[in-house]
Amino acid sequence: MSYVGPDFDPPQPRRSRRGPLTVAVAALVPGALAGWLVWQAVGDGSGGGSGKAAPASSAPASPSATSAASPSAPSTGDDKSSTSPSPTSSASKPAGPLKGKVVVIDPGHNPGNFQHTAEINRTVDIGTSRKECDTTGTSTNAGYAEAQFTLDVARRVRTILQQQGATVKFTQDGDRSWGPCIDERARIGNEAHADAAVSIHADGSGAGNRGFHVILPGSVNAGGADTRPIVASSRDLGERIAGLFVRETGSAPSNYIGDGTGLVVRKDLGGLNLSTVPKVFIECGNMRDSKDEALLTSSAWRQKAARGISEGIVSFLQG
């Protein structure tokens, strides 16, 4: 997602978080990063790109304007296996290690948002302030929309989790003309009493900015927002997803945000502020960088991304 609009404002200046990480990070992220280094050494021919991160940038991210995809935005040509709509709420498998667990997946944005600017521009209360209901999301320079990407990866995640017995619910599945608003996205997870909720996105930063990052909720207690009960559990969820995303995709943590950890804490995101269940966002890569674009538009890589996200969720749910 681009850092313009609701849940997309530039992160506020903060102190460096270069101190010791939690036990979960020690167990997951370093090991996964070591795996990433091995992957780089031997190469990975199926990722759709070079897989090597650009050198760390000393400059802050260059936010790009949120870009709407047109109705006839070009397809990548390799989406056929996972983009057919299916019910927003799905029953759990009769058996499996995740039987009884509820996961809410939030595919960021909506392909129809650009046709409903009045609706998505109205503001909603996120506790700390008011923000626009939603945005169009970003896109690659060739026109592959973030909303297409998020739905594709989300559906792949759902398939993997359902195979392990989980009940998976979506905030939207291409089954509504726009939205939902960011407050409703949070409410869907809350009302489902989700054991975990994950919002899937891709960034719209400047060329040369590469890699993924996971956004964790900061401690907020303002208005109708109180994240204090979920801060620790959300961090655990986010650290596990970050570590396993590295392992499954071979992608490096962001070189432009998160101090190389792949983890960012924010207090300005309505989808996190209003959540009462463990929840994180993942920015899977930067759609405006040509090397990340090659990954994000690869069906094979999106399957790897889905496995990384799913395995992180499974690790969290199984403790």
Q: Indicate which residues carry an active-site annotation.
A: 283
- How far apart (Å, rounded) are the C-alpha atoms in residues 3 and 131? 13
Asked if 272 and 266 touch (Cβ cutoff 8 Å), the reply is: yes
Helices 231-249 and 299-318 cross at an angle (nearest 10°) of 140
- How far apart (Å, rounded) are the C-alpha atoms in residues 16 and 259? 7
**Phi-psi domain of 43 (left: phi exceeds 0; alpha: psi -120 through 50; beta: other):** left
| Rounded CA Rg of the chain | 18
Alpha-carbon dihedral of residues 103, 108, 113, 114, nearest 10 degrees?
Answer: -170
Q: List the strands of the sheet with 167-170, edge to edge.
A: 167-170, 102-107, 196-203, 279-286, 213-217, 263-266
Asked if 104 and 189 touch (Cβ cutoff 8 Å), the reply is: yes
DSSP 253: B
- How far apart (Å, rounded) are the C-alpha atoms in residues 215 and 208? 20
Burial of 231-266, coded b for 16+ CB within 10 Å and e otherwise, reads: bebbbbbbbbbbbbbbbbbbbbbbbbbbeebbbbbb
